[in-house]
Amino acid sequence: MKKILCLALITFLFLPVVFGQEEEILKLKEKIIALQNRGELGFRNFTFCSNILGFASYVPLPQPVIDKKGQLLVYYEPLNVYTSKREGLYEMWYTQDMALLKANGETLSEWKDILDFHYTTKSPVMDLFAQNSITLDGKVSPGKYKFKAVLKDKLSGKLATKIVDFEIR
């Protein structure tokens, strides 16, 4: 009985600290969302990789060179995706196009809305990552190329484009 009473007292004393802390953390997240919503949509850590394991966990290629029978694999973190808050729910929605371009910018292949991320949750999402891949299988001749990614934020109407050079050997 003493143990139960002691446990109840400890719980009673620390409960306001835990709930106060949660409330403070939520307020900080709301401030971060407000800053992100005002920021420019973009890409962070846009990297050619040999492997992607998860958020901020990837193996970058030493050089942007892909084997002609290999796979073009890109990791990035969408920056400042708009978060809408209504009725206690947080919503994010963006799509992404990608294209394979010749060195002169001419389009070889294009994939519209290859990625469609639409997420609604009761808790704010702070960090996002995405990956793109193109299996080459020798279908593209060795040479210099460009990879183009276009983020389209469906809630804010903002658009961001990233074009990077790479080589196929």
pLDDT band, residue 15 (cuts 50/70/90): very low
Contact 72, 147 (CB under 8 A): yes
Q: Show the tokens assigned to 11.
A: 């719980």
Please state whether the predicted TM-score (pTM) of the whole model is above 0.95: no
Report the alpha-carbon distance of residue 64 to residue 125 in Å, rounded: 31
Contact 119, 52 (CB under 8 A): no
Q: Which of these ranges, 21-25, 35-39, 132-136, has the smallest mean pLDDT?
A: 21-25
Q: Show the tokens assigned to 22.
A: 């949660």
Residues 106 and 122 in one domain: yes
pLDDT, residue 20, reads 72
Q: How many Cβ atoms sit within 10 Å of the Cβ of residue 125?
A: 15
Residues 63 and 1 in one domain: no
Nearest to 152 by CA among 114, 122, 106: 114
Q: pLDDT (tens digit, 9 = 90+) per residue, 109-166?
A: 999 999 999 999 999 999 999 999 999 999 999 999 999 999 999 999 999 999 999 9
Q: pLDDT (tens digit, 9 = 90+) per residue, 62-101?
A: 999 999 999 999 999 999 999 999 999 999 999 999 999 9
| CB proximity list for 112: less than 8 A, separation 6 or greater | 97
Domain CATH for 104: 2.60.40.10
Residues 106 and 67 in one domain: yes
Report the alpha-carbon distance of residue 36 to residue 77 in Å, rounded: 13
Nearest to 30 by CA among 126, 118, 97, 121: 126
Say which amino acid occupies 107: T
Which residues of the chain form beta strands (DSSP E)? 42-54, 57-60, 65-66, 71-79, 84-86, 89-102, 107-121, 130-135, 143-153, 159-168
Residues 99 and 134 in one domain: yes
Give the structural domain span for 1: 1-38
pLDDT, residue 13, reads 47
Which SS3 state, helix, strand or coil, does residue 35 take?
helix
Nearest to 162 by CA among 36, 27, 40: 40
Number of domains the chain is built from? 2
pLDDT, residue 85, reads 95
Asked whether residue 42 carries a pLDDT value surpassing 70, the answer given is yes
